[in-house]
Amino acid sequence: MSPANGVSARTLTSTTGAAIPLPDPGHLTHLQFRRFAGCPVCNLHLRSVVTRLPEIRAAGIREVVVFHSSAGELRKYTDDLPLDVVADPDRVLYREFGVETAARALLDPRGWTAIARAIGSELPGRRGERPAPPARPEGGRLGLPADFLIHPDGTVLAAKYGAYADDQWSVGELLAVAARHSGTTTPIPVTPEE
């Protein structure tokens, strides 16, 4: 389960070497736990986040995305994303937040359509920008997603533990959850390159 007494302040390091405060002292933090580097389902989901990033930032939300892969492996797939991506190959944060690994990640029929759609969009030559998903991903294929909305004081305002690979908050759900806590933070400025 999520940290019962809130999230203690710490600094994470992104795959680019940037320092990421957790929780962010001035904004809500959407802490996303994804699966492995190159995960087609995760990549498809993160592209939807990037598409709506101006709305997310206008709601005062900072995106922090954690994968159970090494920074080197993640950079192959995420360097073009304007998101804070964190490598956690030893699953330290996964254990702290109670994010699981289970066969149902791939075996639950509710995720099969998304898995097929994601694989189709990530095939080599189809997207061209990134390498194909790894045949043997670091940390395995059975990770489950999870989402946490964290207040600047460290309080976990909401959490979702995925039951299968594609069971995470959509951007619309994230914005709806954040709207229930509006007024707690200020919008994040969008930089020109985004």
Per domain, the residue ranges of the chain are 27-179
Cα 124 → chain centroid: 23
Give the pLDDT band of residue 147 (cuts 50, 70, 90): very high
* DSSP assignments along 5-43, one per residue: T-PPPEEEEBTTS-EEEES-TTSEEEEEE--STT-HHHH
Q: CATH fold of 27-179, please? A: Glutaredoxin (3.40.30)
Alpha helices by DSSP H, 1-131: 40-51, 53-58, 71-78, 92-97, 104-107, 112-122
Quote the pLDDT of residue 1. 47
Task: Enter the pTM of the model.
Answer: 0.81
Over 90: is that where the pLDDT of 53 sits? yes
Bigger pLDDT: 191 vs 3: 3
Among residues of the chain, what percentage have pLDDT more than 90? 48
Quote the pLDDT of residue 191. 55
Judge whether 30 and 56 are in contact, CB under 8 Å: yes
Over 70: is that where the pLDDT of 190 sits? no
Cα 119 → chain centroid: 18
Of 4-8, 16-20, 105-109, 125-129, give the range with the top mean pLDDT: 16-20
Quote the pLDDT of residue 128. 56
- What is the per-residue pLDDT across 111-145, written as a single tens digit (0 to 9) for each? 656 666 666 665 554 455 666 666 676 766 677 89
Does residue 61 sit in helix, strand or coil?
strand
Quote the pLDDT of residue 163. 84
